[in-house]
Homo-oligomer: A and B are copies of this chain.
Amino acid sequence: MTPLWQREPVGVVGLGLIGGSLGLDLMAAGAQVRALVHRPATAERARERGLASAVSTDAAVLEGCGLVVLALPLDRLLDPDPALLAALPVGAVITDVGSVKGPVLRRWRELLAAGGGPGATRFVASHPMAGTARAGVEAGEPGLFRGRPWVATPEAGTDTEALQAVRELAEALGARWLCCDAEAHDRAVALISHLPVLVGAALVQAAAAGGGETAAGAELVRALASSGFADTTRVGGGNPELGMLMACANRAALLEALDHYRQSLASLEAMVAAEEWSGLQQSLARSQALRPDFL
Contact = CB atoms under 8 A, between A and B. Distances in A.
A201 B129 contact: no
Contact of A288 (B188, B237, B247): B237
B287 A200 contact: yes
A249 to B, nearest CB: 10
Contacts of A280: 243-244, 247-248
A114 interface: no
User: Copy number in this complex?
Assistant: 2
The A interface, classified by DSSP as helix, strand, loop or mixed, is: helix
Given A220-B188, A273-B255, A291 B237 contact: yes
Q: Interface centre among A185, A193, A237, A294, by most B CB within 10 Å?
A: A294
Contacts of A269: 198, 255, 258
A273 to B, nearest CB: 6
Contact of A189 (B187, B224, B234, B241): B224
Contacts of A191: 206-207, 210-211, 221
Given A236-B291, A281-B243, A281-B244, A193 B272 contact: no
Interface in A273-289: 273, 275, 277, 280-288
Contact of A188 (B187, B224, B267, B293): B224
Q: How large is the interface on A (under 10, 10 to 19, 20 to 34, 35 or more residues)?
A: 35 or more
A204 B260 contact: no
Interface stretch (A31-39, A76-84, A115-123, A225-233): A225-233
Given A129-B224, A205-B290, A228-B234, 11 more contacts: A178-B220, A192-B225, A198-B272, A204-B287, A205-B267, A208-B293, A221-B294, A231-B234, A244-B277, A258-B269, A262-B265
17 contacts: A178-B223, A185-B220, A188-B211, A196-B233, A203-B261, A204-B290, A204-B291, A205-B286, A205-B287, A222-B293, A228-B235, A231-B235, A233-B294, A237-B291, A237-B292, A240-B284, A243-B281
